[in-house]
Structure 1
Amino acid sequence: MLVYKAVLFLVICLIGTCKRFPSYMNKCYRNDNTTKTCLIEAVYKLKANFKRGIPEFGLPPMNPLILPQVSLENNDSFNAVFRNVEIFYLDELIIQDIDFNLNKNEFETKLIFPKLRIKSNYHIKGHILFFQLDGNGPADGNFTNVEVETKLQGRRYQKKGREYIKFFKMEVKEHVSKADFKFDGLFKDNLELTRQMNEIVNENIDELLLELQPAIHVAIEQTVLGLIARIFEKFSIQELFLD
């Protein structure tokens, strides 16, 4: 669940930059036959610094990446809040493809994460997998071969004689080859029922992820678009790319 939101947080690394570049970074030319190769190389250079963070870009340490809170809601039937979220192994990402079309204001990525681990404190209340849940406690999730595709659509606007991009729409596709969850405290004071429920969750993990997919996508869009907006509201196209 949280894996998609956490992974897509990394999209800002692929397109974000700043007026004062780190010494190990180069700006990419826009709409050039070297742009894709340059962007891929830039991401791998950024990846090498995920552990310490990249203050020049306003990015915190990302192994683990720490998020104060992540929320998932599916209509009125389900609500989950995850606090003190820690995401491990983001720096092991593999880039399959990057495409930034400035003429159409479109940005697309295809990423693979061989493994991810997410730890948090959760509170879940609602109906899921034919069960009514109301529990809280530590949660631990492990994911294998997480594939994520994103497509962002933006529009141009002028500010102080410079061109900026505002991203307003995002499409997400994802696939997890294997996932395993452990939720302590699903049923208060009943360790055996909690153990059995964890078994049921993991035996039906594909159905669980599919059932929560609409809520996951809303959380991703709100978070990632908000993060990207901060960068592109501050820096113009002329500042982000070479002519």
Structure 2
Amino acid sequence: MESKIFITLLLVGLAAQSLAKPKGKSSKLPEFLKVCYRDSPDLNTCARSSFESLEPRLMNGIPELYIPPMEPLRVPEIKMDQDSGAIYLHSVYKNVKISGISKHTLHNLTIVPSQLKFALGITFPKLKLESQYSIKGKIMMMPMLGDGNCKVELSNITVATEMIGEEYKKDGATHLKIKEIKVKYELADVHMQLDNLFNGDKALGKRMNDFLNENWRSLSEEVRPLMIKALVDILRASVDKLFDAFSYDDLLPSMKM
């Protein structure tokens, strides 16, 4: 349950992480990507325009940038464990399908080259998630047991990320890697349906689903530290993969070069 409420917050990182570098792939940036100059006074305007120009391509994916097809985004399996506070659960989600990722709003994109700082803020108006789940544990001392189909709808998910990089040399070129990541997120509403809870006991299953939907906000605070750590770890691995594939001068060249 805990990852179902929040797994959509990991989508950007999962998307980038889920594609390995294709064999024989060129290290040159794709021609359709608008290049922005790090010493340009219009850097942030250019960066936003470049980001938004990629939106039509998200449906089919952008393998050159390690981004898989987004509508729907498919993740084979996710495992999550929470064993602190009021929640003690082991859960596995298979054949995860998420819809609505491409319909996002970008409300902040800021690059500060002198600090190697990248800030991004995105809102997803509506995300729908479907999967097969298996879960066992306790929520607020109440037993939680089930396996079957799961559906979750999330409304107005806003994610704000700030990343600080540092330089290193690779094959004579300057590359970046992530030194620090800060993440904040907010959710407006969540509705979920877990089928076949308690071995198909419909009365117990309905009561548990009602409880989860009525108390999702307080439950979300219990798992917030876990979700932030998971998101930070995934984003670090994903962005470092992109930074490793392309040099700093490829990604953000200088006009003076």
Same fold (TM over 0.5): yes
3-state DSSP of counterpart to 2:241? helix
Number of residue-to-residue matches in the alignment: 238
Once residues 214 and 147 of structure 2 are traced to their aligned partners in structure 1, the CA distance between those partners, rounded to angstroms, is 21
For residue 70 of structure 1, report the CA deviation from its aligned partner.
Answer: 2.1
Structure 2's unaligned 5+ residue stretches are 1-5, 18-25
Match of 1:195, as an amino acid?
A: K
3-state DSSP of counterpart to 1:75? strand
Match of 2:238, as an amino acid?
A: L
Q: Match for residue 241 of structure 2?
A: 230
Q: Match for residue 60 of structure 2?
A: 52
Q: Give the 3 Å change call, closer, same or farther, for CA 54–144 of structure 1 in structure 2.
A: same
1:73 aligned residue (70, 81, 99): 81
Structure 1's unaligned 5+ residue stretches are 13-17
For residue 71 of structure 1, report the CA deviation from its aligned partner.
Answer: 2.6
Match of 2:249, as an amino acid?
A: Q
Once residues 150 and 33 of structure 2 are traced to their aligned partners in structure 1, the CA distance between those partners, rounded to angstroms, is 37
Once residues 169 and 72 of structure 1 are traced to their aligned partners in structure 2, the CA distance between those partners, rounded to angstroms, is 24
Q: Give the 3 Å change call, closer, same or farther, for CA 7–60 of structure 1 in structure 2.
A: closer
Q: Match for residue 33 of structure 1?
A: 41
3-state DSSP of counterpart to 1:61? coil
For residue 136 of structure 1, report the CA deviation from its aligned partner.
Answer: 1.6
Q: Match for residue 10 of structure 2?
A: 5
Identity %: 26
1:106 aligned residue (111, 117, 133): 117
1:197 matched to 2:205? The reply is no
Contact between 1:89 and 1:115, CA under 8 Å: does it hold in 2?
Answer: yes
Once residues 138 and 164 of structure 2 are traced to their aligned partners in structure 1, the CA distance between those partners, rounded to angstroms, is 34
Once residues 241 and 40 of structure 1 are traced to their aligned partners in structure 2, the CA distance between those partners, rounded to angstroms, is 13
Match of 1:196, as an amino acid?
A: R
* More displaced stretch, 1-10 vs 182-191: 1-10
Deviation by residue 1:21-43 (Cα, 9 ceiling, x = unmatched): 44432111114221111111111
Q: How does 1:73-152 map to 2 (within 5 A)?
A: 73-75=81-83, 77-152=88-163
Q: Match for residue 72 of structure 2?
A: 64
Deviation by residue 1:145-190 (Cα, 9 ceiling, x = unmatched): 1111111222211122211111143211111111111111221131
Once residues 160 and 20 of structure 1 are traced to their aligned partners in structure 2, the CA distance between those partners, rounded to angstroms, is 15
Deviation by residue 1:33-90 (Cα, 9 ceiling, x = unmatched): 2111111111111111111111222211011111112232223632222221111111
2:221 aligned residue (195, 210, 229): 210
Once residues 77 and 181 of structure 2 are traced to their aligned partners in structure 1, the CA distance between those partners, rounded to angstroms, is 21
Match of 2:244, as an amino acid?
A: E
Contact between 1:94 and 1:111, CA under 8 Å: does it hold in 2?
Answer: yes
For residue 19 of structure 1, report the CA deviation from its aligned partner.
Answer: 4.1
Once residues 179 and 119 of structure 1 are traced to their aligned partners in structure 2, the CA distance between those partners, rounded to angstroms, is 14
Q: Give the 3 Å change call, closer, same or farther, for CA 166–230 of structure 1 in structure 2.
A: same
* More displaced stretch, 173-182 vs 215-224: 215-224
Q: Match for residue 15 of structure 1?
A: none
Contact between 1:145 and 1:177, CA under 8 Å: does it hold in 2?
Answer: yes
Contact between 2:13 and 2:238, CA under 8 Å: does it hold in 1?
Answer: no
TM-score, normalisation: structure 2: 0.85
Q: How does 1:169-188 map to 2 (within 5 A)?
A: 169-188=180-199
Contact between 1:20 and 1:56, CA under 8 Å: does it hold in 2?
Answer: no
